[in-house]
Amino acid sequence: MTEPWIWPGPSRGPARLLDELAARGFSVLRGDACSMLSPEEAARAPWSFAERLLGERPLLVERQPIKAVPGGRSFAASAVAAPLHTDSQCFAGAPPAVQILACIRPAERGGGCLLLDTWPLLAAIERADPELFRALFTVYRRIPFVFGDVFGPTMALRDGALAFTHAPVAPPGDAVAARLARFIDASRPIELSLGPSDLLVVDNRRMLHGRRAFEGGPRELVRLLVWMGTTLPSPRAYHALAAEIAGAASRRMAAAPEATRRRLGLGAPPPPEARRRLGLVLEMLRGVPPGVLAARERIPEPQLYRLRDAALAAAEAALAGGVEGAEDGALVEAIARMDRG
């Protein structure tokens, strides 16, 4: 059993948390109402909660209540067991760096959190089945999720960061997924029981997570998915291999539209200044007062409003086209072309 650690305050807390994430991919700490790190605070003000915990301003935060409701069919809204998977919805071409689960109320029976570290899993696969190990880095495939499908290798660079992508249910007819499932089924995940106020923080690009079925009492958690400017550490050899594969794929896909390349994880990274400006716009949209932003960034307020107007006009123009339906088809074709090439 992992004993939750006590938050030592803002000067040492984030560094300890990042150290633990680097060492084993997850950390469990006791929520602290005095430090505004309670689960209720995660639900009320997710952006500032994530900033306090991680010690840096997030690029984006997604909040999701995890609570069984009558008729709920998703894992978040039901009491069924959730198979091991990653949360791989993308922002700026990458899945969330960190998943935070804040426990308001545990279940009376069951509901344990399951975690599996993909780095030792990959090392075991490399020893036992080198061909599968190679395929996990090289085979571009369609990986289906409730939020939409992810296209690319299982282990790949996404926005420059190494990320493992794994769906809770293996797609039928996918040989790589079937072979990988045999290794995952034979693994022994870590199991954690979160108590009231406990916070579980997970490196979401490294760890698979799942949940035991539960019953009795209204189990309630708040899940935050956090995209950060800082990249968490990853094994150099895996990063180098993924970079080599992405480089070769990028050359083969040089003529593909940028939208297609982007969804394959091959998009050109935006200039840092563009990302900083997008961050400011997102802060405005979530309600940070423009005067506060202008003073902090030392830019005139009218400039902030011009940025917001430019970002929303670009978003409106992008949304005017019927991109959604066409794009999955284009990706399937692009992958087939890569296979033939």
The correct pick among 38, 39, 84, 87 for binding Fe ion (CB under 5 A) is 87
Cβ atoms of 200 and 194 closer than 8 Å = yes
Q: Which stretch binds Fe ion (CB under 5 A): 26-34, 86-94, 256-264, 265-273?
A: 86-94
Which residue lies nearer to Fe ion by CB, 180 or 293? 180
Which residue lies nearer to Fe ion by CB, 90 or 253? 90
| Secondary structure letter of residue 86 according to DSSP | -
Which residue lies nearer to Fe ion by CB, 32 or 87? 87
Cβ atoms of 142 and 149 closer than 8 Å = yes
Instruction: Tell the smallest beta-carbon distance from residue 200 to Fe ion (Å).
Output: 12
The site string for Fe ion over 130-159 (x = CB under 5 A, - otherwise) reads ------------------------------
Closest listed residue to residue 100, CA positions, set 218, 5, 21, 215: 21
- What is the Cα–Cα distance from 7 to 38, expressed in whole angstroms? 11
Which residue lies nearer to Fe ion by CB, 205 or 277? 205
| Secondary structure letter of residue 235 according to DSSP | -
Q: Which stretch binds Fe ion (CB under 5 A): 49-57, 79-87, 119-127, 198-206?
A: 79-87
Which residue lies nearer to Fe ion by CB, 219 or 277? 219
CB neighbour list of residue 105: distance below 8 Å, 6 or more residues apart: 196, 217, 218, 219, 220
User: In this structure, how many other beta carbons lie within 10 angstroms of the beta carbon of residue 255?
Assistant: 7
Instruction: Tell the smallest beta-carbon distance from residue 223 to Fe ion (Å).
Output: 8
Closest residue to Fe ion using C-beta atoms: 87
Instruction: Tell the smallest beta-carbon distance from residue 196 to Fe ion (Å).
Output: 21
Cβ atoms of 194 and 2 closer than 8 Å = no
Which residue lies nearer to Fe ion by CB, 87 or 159? 87
Closest listed residue to residue 161, CA positions, set 192, 132, 203, 214: 203
Q: Does 203 bind Fe ion (CB under 5 A)?
A: no
Q: Which two tokens stand for residue 252?
A: 């083969």
- Please work out the total of residues on this chain that contact Fe ion, with binding judged by CB under 5 A: 1
- In the complex, the residues that contact Fe ion under the rule CB under 5 A are 87
